[in-house]
Amino acid sequence: MSDILDEIIKRNINVHRDSLLPLLQEIQNELGYLSDESINRIGQLTGMPTSKIYGVATFYDQFRFNPKGRFHIRVCHGTACHVNESMNIIRELERILKIKQGQTTRDGMYSLEVVNCMGACAVAPVMNINGKYMPAAEVNKIKDIIEGFVSNSSVYENCQ
C-alpha cells in the first residue's frame, strides 16, 4: 500500500497548499479514504507540516478519514433535499447506526456520508446505498430500507 502511496505523492512532489487538493483526491480515490499513514507520508515526502495537510483536508466535506463500510450510505443535503427534511433522515440514520456522518460502524458494516446534490432533486430527499438510489426517502421507513437492502445483498452474494 505504501508503494502506491509513495508513487502518487512523488508524482505530485512539488505540491504546496494550493495544489494539495488534487493529491488528496487521488489518494482518496486509490485508498477510499485519507488514512493517518497517508497524511503522515505526504508530510514526510513534501516537508509540509501534517497539521497543515489536515487543515486543508478537513476544510472540504469530500474527504473521508475512515474506510467505507460494506454498506456505504450517502444522504443528500443539497438545497432540494434540505427543504424536504433530509436532516431528519441523517439524524435517523445516526440514531439507528449509532455513528455520526463521516464515520463507519465498528464492525465495518455501515458508513454514513452526507453529500451535496446527487442530481436527483425532483425526487428529494434522496439517499443512496452502495450506489443504488432511494428516492423520496421517508424517515419512518429508513430502518426497513436498510434492512431490505442488506437482506437482498445477502441473497445476491449467496448466489455468487
Residues that bind ligand FES (CB under 6 A): 76, 78-81, 117-121, 124, 126
Among 50, 43, 34, residue whose Cα is nearest residue 13: 43
Comparison of 1 and 83: residue with beta carbon closer to ligand FES? 83
C-beta of 60: minimal distance to ligand FES in Å?
Answer: 18
What is the smallest separation between the CB atom of 128 and ligand FES, expressed in angstroms?
10
User: What is the SS3 string spanning 26-94?
Assistant: HHHHHHCCCCHHHHHHHHHHHCCCHHHHHHHHHHCCCCCCCCCCCEEEEEECCHHHHHCCHHHHHHHHH
For ligand FES, the closer CB: 27 or 126: 126
- Given the complex with ligand FES, which of 9 and 81 has the nearer CB atom? 81
C-alpha cell at 2: 505504501
DSSP code at position 156: H
Least Å distance between CB 90 and ligand FES? 12
Closest approach of Cβ 130 to ligand FES, in Å?
17
